[in-house]
Amino acid sequence: MTPRPRELARNLVLGVSTAAGMAAEDPSLLLVQAARRLPTRVRHGVVRLLLAGAPSPQRRAVGAWLGGHDGEARELLSAVLTGARPGSHPVLAEIGVLLDVPGAHLAGSRATAARAALRRGEVSRAVELARGTPLAARFASERCAMTPGHDLRTLPAAALSAASTAGTAGTAASPPRALHVLTNSFPHTPSGYAVRSHQVLLAQREAGVAVEAVTRVGYPITVGKAFARHRDVVDGVGYSRLVPWRSARTPGARLQQQLEELRPLARRYRPTVLHTTTNYTNALVTRALARELGVPWVYEARGVLEDTWVASFPPHLREAAAASEKHALLRARELEVACSADRVVTLSEVLREDLVARGVPRDRTRVVPNGVDGRLLEVREAPAAARWALGLPGEGFWVGTVSSLVAYEGLDTLLRAVALARAEGVDVRAALVGDGVSAPGLGRLSEDLGLGESVIMPGRVTTAQAERWYLALDAFAVPRVDSAVTRSVTPLKPVTAMALGRPVIASDLPALREVTGGAALFSQAESPESVAQAILRLARNQDARDELAAAGRAEAAQRTWNSLGRRYRAMYEEVVSA
């Protein structure tokens, strides 16, 4: 739907002012970020231009980076930037920092050096380096926000009394009214986070809970959706947007702005409980609002923030990241907000035990795993038929995923496994459906392995299209790397594949054993040979595929969202009446 004139005006003013602020504060980074977000076709065209003729080492380095050849780009940048004068290559230095090229920041500005320190997790050092630069206020505010003990300003005592009437719409004897404070949502972001959020809202509504959702301040305008409405209704669920005329300049100020923008909406909706999800920024806003309204709040820990951050580094840098100041701050901050919530929801027993071991009271924790739409259990379609509908070849054994293409998913292992399986004379093919920072590198690896047309990478697809891609696979792969975050955080995608009757091949990690109920074929993490053996076993044995698919579907039938919605209602009624 087209936004109303006043909505459009506000969107445009916010978008332009945000971009202008970023350009004034950090022009080199803005240029690099914009380049990374170019559509695939445009990015490939830019790469061709950069590499045309006899390109300089600088052009070759940028072309390699945009083309997903990170290793080549790292080598070229190391040669170009070594010994370069300070400030002589600001854009190349920014790319070098992103690629963890040692000393790359020395060829950039003081701001680049500050950002490199923050990238390494040296938070206080980054704040020190940023002094006297346009980044000073932002870095200081970011450190303050992630430091335990910092809180948002709330209404004074006289106003709190008036605000508390917002929670009087429900009582312990009436259905709960839940307001969900989210990072992003449908229809603008089709991520796993948004999928779970939407399914939780639908399940709660089915269980008799009145639900409404609101997303972070500025979203979705600040992610490029200039023509977005300020309220969307998806499947009958309302998603309100907090769109100010201008965005506050620092992270802490934006959280305060979000609280102030959220306050009138909450008073109109009159919730009896607030519900938010990781990370701590959502929790700070929700906790402050709950105090003002005099209602309980729930914190849904969908992951381990500091371990997810560590997993974004190359393997040889993860140990240093895990020992950094940033890791310690994030860990302490997440524990603090979790301990202050009335209830903490986790997606797995593994994650629950981890939080309890850290100090979260066990009696305040609840497990609500990823579920599935019960409708999927009734879908019956052969993989070849689904591929035909997508315009793909019916022949071959297709293995793949529908996921964000990021490093910890281990999809490079899957591509190497496909190459090994094909070397055994079996027509194995792969589909990697989705987008992410690893996409260019995976495309290059596929070329290097000589996989050619046996690998399909269609990019990001809609939720409706995603179901068809699940069905097009003969086996669904979750070849996650072995890391702290993958051992404790359970993904949604294997349960969806199981409900649709597709056998799952998964890394042998605690979180994946739990989320699949053991109804998967497990392989050694980060071992192409082990994954290849699992692929070949299923490719050569239809009975094995059918048996695993049936077991997976039976397991998924125990995890429908409707049944999980009742768990949420019981929890809400418990905290409202406490």
Q: Answer whether residue 55 is part of any domain.
A: yes
Residue 455 sits in a domain of what CATH number? 3.40.50.2000
Residues 6+ apart with CB under 8 A from 20: none
Could you tell me the CA-to-CA distances from 566 to 179, 203, 209, 344, 560 in Å, in that order?
17, 8, 9, 16, 11
Residues 252 and 397 in one domain: no
CA angle 486, 480, 377 (to 5 degrees): 95
Residues 235 and 288 in one domain: yes
Residues 416 and 519 in one domain: yes
Residues 54 and 108 in one domain: yes
pLDDT tens sequence across 287-345? 999 999 999 999 999 989 999 999 888 888 999 999 999 999 999 999 999 999 999 99
Residues 418 and 513 in one domain: yes
* Rounded-to-10 torsion of CA 506, 511, 513, 517: -120
Q: CB-based burial of residue 54 (10 Å sphere; 0-12 exposed, 13-18 middle, 19+ buried)?
A: exposed
Q: Answer whether residue 472 is part of any domain.
A: yes
Residues 45 and 75 in one domain: yes
> Residue 237: enclosing H or E segment and its boundaries?
strand 237-240
With tokens 């002094």, the residue in question is: 131
For the chain, residues with pLDDT lower than 70 are: 1, 156-173
d(Cα 222, Cα 12) in Å, to the nearest integer? 10
Residues 433 and 544 in one domain: yes
User: Which pLDDT score, from 0 to 100, does residue 400 have?
Assistant: 98
Residues 359 and 383 in one domain: no
Q: Closest Cα partner for 422 from 388, 391, 449? A: 449
Could you tell me the CA-to-CA distances from 118 to 131, 272, 321 in Å, in that order?
14, 39, 11
Residues 193 and 314 in one domain: yes
Residues 119 and 171 in one domain: no
d(Cα 1, Cα 241) in Å, to the nearest integer? 15
* Rounded-to-10 torsion of CA 350, 356, 357, 360: 140
User: Which pLDDT score, from 0 to 100, does residue 173 have?
Assistant: 65
Number of domains in the chain: 3
Q: Answer whether residue 8 is part of any domain.
A: no
User: Which pLDDT score, from 0 to 100, does residue 349 have?
Assistant: 94
User: Which pLDDT score, from 0 to 100, does residue 320 have?
Assistant: 96
Could you tell me the CA-to-CA distances from 532 to 401, 423, 492, 574 in Å, in that order?
15, 10, 23, 48
Q: Kindly report whether the peptide bond that precedes residue 314 is cis, defined as omega within 30 degrees of 0.
A: no
Residues 388 and 471 in one domain: yes
Q: Answer whether residue 424 is part of any domain.
A: yes
Residues 360 and 398 in one domain: no
Q: Closest Cα partner for 267 from 185, 155, 342, 152? A: 155
Q: Answer whether residue 141 is part of any domain.
A: no
Q: Answer whether residue 40 is part of any domain.
A: yes
User: Which pLDDT score, from 0 to 100, does residue 44 have?
Assistant: 82
> Residue 458: enclosing H or E segment and its boundaries?
strand 455-459
- Residue ranges in 156-233 assigned as alpha helix (H): 157-163, 192-206
Q: Answer whether residue 147 is part of any domain.
A: no
Q: Which range of residues forms the domain containing residue 308?
A: 157-371+565-577
Q: Answer whether residue 339 is part of any domain.
A: yes
